[in-house]
Chains A and B, each alone.
Chain A
Amino acid sequence: MPYLELKSVSKAYGANGSRTEVLRDVNLAIEQGEFVAIVGYSGAGKTTLMSILAGLIRPDTGSVTLEGRAMSGPGPDRGLVFQNYSLLPWLTVAENVRLAVDQVFPEKSEAERAAHATEFIEMVNLAPARDKRPHELSGGMRQRVSVARTLAMNPKVLLLDEPLSALDALTRANLQDEIARIRAQQKQTVVLITNDPDEAILLADRVVPLTAGPNATLGESFIVDLPHPRDRKALNHSPRFRQLRRDISQYLLQSRQDRHATITRKLTLPDIEPEDLSIPRTMLGRSRPLRSSETREATVEVAS
């Protein structure tokens, strides 16, 4: 029996009239201790899928089970790193982490909890910023606080929603290694969402593509049968790695080609229309020279 399972899950947003189905018939079975990476386009519904796994939103249809029991709601056993960090702005870095630590380890002593929080703050290299508030931090630093807060909870399932997307390449590589290390040590079940197939293959046992939305669904799994620990440099020369990367990219491109996405956006025309001097002018300005900025809506079909 799978440890964490989604069965024919679908989810739509919006009121009856303008309802759009984001996820349709999503099936996913994750074994205990497995590391699954989900890759997909922006806006496909990855965060929605993650929120369902975390229990923050309920699917419209289908079932979510954890250890065979229907999931009733969110909890600290499923540690979620939010895509938008979700740090509490009135708490410092250390206090944000402490809030989670205090909640999850109430039986530990004050000193133990402080040490535990410090350990994870140091792990993401934020010791110098421990007494800063989130608004004093860069985007990448906030993301690291969010990672530290979740890892400090020592969850059974680690749900990572694009946890490294705002980081520079060096820090990113660093934290990727850190995630791989923690995973090897703690043997948690991990679901990682990413837009980077390389990252997915580097870290995961299995990569599952999410097709382009709307009505996104999970595609066939790509098993990453490369031995752990994986070395980033060596991997680049591995034919198996290259083939996986090609296959996954190919699958995602194909899924997008099957639909014609349209983008509707408001265009504000710049204020550069020349005055037409041939139009007679009146003081009331009825026949105005076109001078003001105008907003126009345009729908563009994107065929890739």
Chain B
Amino acid sequence: MKAFKFDWLILPLIGIAVVVLLWQISSKTWAKELPTPHKTWEASKEYVLKPFEKRGEMDQGILRFTWYSLILVAKGYAIALIVGTPIGFFLGLSKAFTKTFDPIIQVLRPVSPLAWLPLGLVLFLGAGKQASELGALFTIAICSMWPTVMNTAVGVRAVPQDYLNVAKVLKLSRWKTLTKVLIPATLPYMFTGFRLSLGIAWLVIVAAEMLTGRPGVGGFLWQEYNALLYEHIILCIITIGVVGFILDRLMSLVESRFKTA
């Protein structure tokens, strides 16, 4: 029990202490503009201790900002899964489909969110006030879709022939083969894809909010940078990291439940 606590509590705390120390030293020596940990805390206190307060459009508690960001991510991520999973299935099932679309997918995959966003804004120019939200959703969806697409395709191709033989001998209809055999057999791979996609969706949100100026952690970060309030940038970075970490843990929990099945 003691060793357990040491490994999982003490050691990570030592790690954090080391980084904070390096931060302190840096801000005192070579990076004079970098606020010290203490100053950062002083300046951020209000946002952290009253996390849900709303004082103005761009002056809100940090969890309130996080909430806005999470809602936007959830929407974009949902679109990514709804679109990406079937594409993955088609890629896994059909050689012709793979040959037709795989090259274009491989080309679109590495394109950065910063490149997609302007296109998204242009696409939804007609939507007026909604344009920035739709553009952001488009960007999140198209950037975070690929791990889901690729993992689902790999999973479908990896379904053991034995299971397909069972479906064949039982003469299951196409629909039943899909729901009773293919989807259950692919689920572990799909969830790996879902987890990676969520990570990317959360990465993209910051870029999307920065460029559109929407309220949220990313938008707040950008505004405070322009206002030269560097303490708040650090607050935002820590928040983004912690939230991303929690999301990833939650998804791994879900994922591991399907691994054992």
- Are A and B bound to each other? yes
Which residues of A come within 8 Å of B, CB atoms? 54, 56, 73-76, 78-80, 82, 84, 86, 88-90, 99-100, 103-104, 133, 153
Cβ A75 vs Cβ B162 within 8 A: no
Q: For the complex, would chain A's binding face be called helix, strand, loop or mixed by DSSP majority?
A: loop
- The answer to whether B169 and A74 touch across the interface, beta carbons within 8 angstroms, is yes
A74–B162 touching, CB < 8 Å:
no
Interface size on B, residues (CB 8 A): 16
Residues of A contacting B187 in the complex (Cβ-Cβ under 8 angstroms): 90
Residue from the set B168, B169, B176 with the largest chain A CB neighbour count within 10 Å: B169
- B166-A86 in contact (CB<8A): yes
The residues of B that contact A56 with a CB separation of less than 8 Å are 165, 168-169
Taking beta carbons and an 8 Å cutoff, which residues of B are in contact with A? 162-163, 165-166, 168-172, 176, 180-181, 184-185, 187, 261
Residues of A within 8 Å of B169, CB to CB, are 54, 56, 74-76, 78-80
Nearest B residue to A150 via CB reads B169
- B168 to A86, Cβ gap below 8 A? no
**A86, B184: Cβ atoms under 8 Å?**
no
Q: Are A88 and B171 in contact (CB under 8 A)?
A: no
Specify which chain A residues have a CB less than 8 angstroms from the CB of B184 in the assembled complex.
Answer: 88, 90
Q: Is the CB of B170 within 8 A of A76?
A: yes
Question: Is A82 a contact partner of B162 (Cβ separation < 8 A)?
Answer: yes
Indicate if the CB atoms of A88 and B172 lie closer than 8 Å.
no
| Cα(A260)–Cα(B84), bound, Å | 54
Instruction: A43 to B166: give the CA distance in the assembly, Å.
Output: 22
With a cutoff of 8 Å between Cβ atoms, the chain A residues found around residue B261 in the complex are: 89-90, 133
Question: For residue A89, which residues in chain B have a CB less than 8 angstroms away from its CB?
Answer: 261
A142 to chain B, nearest CB (A): 12
13 A-B pairs, CB-CB below 8 angstroms?
A54-B169, A56-B165, A56-B168, A56-B169, A73-B168, A82-B162, A86-B163, A86-B165, A103-B170, A103-B171, A103-B172, A104-B170, A153-B170
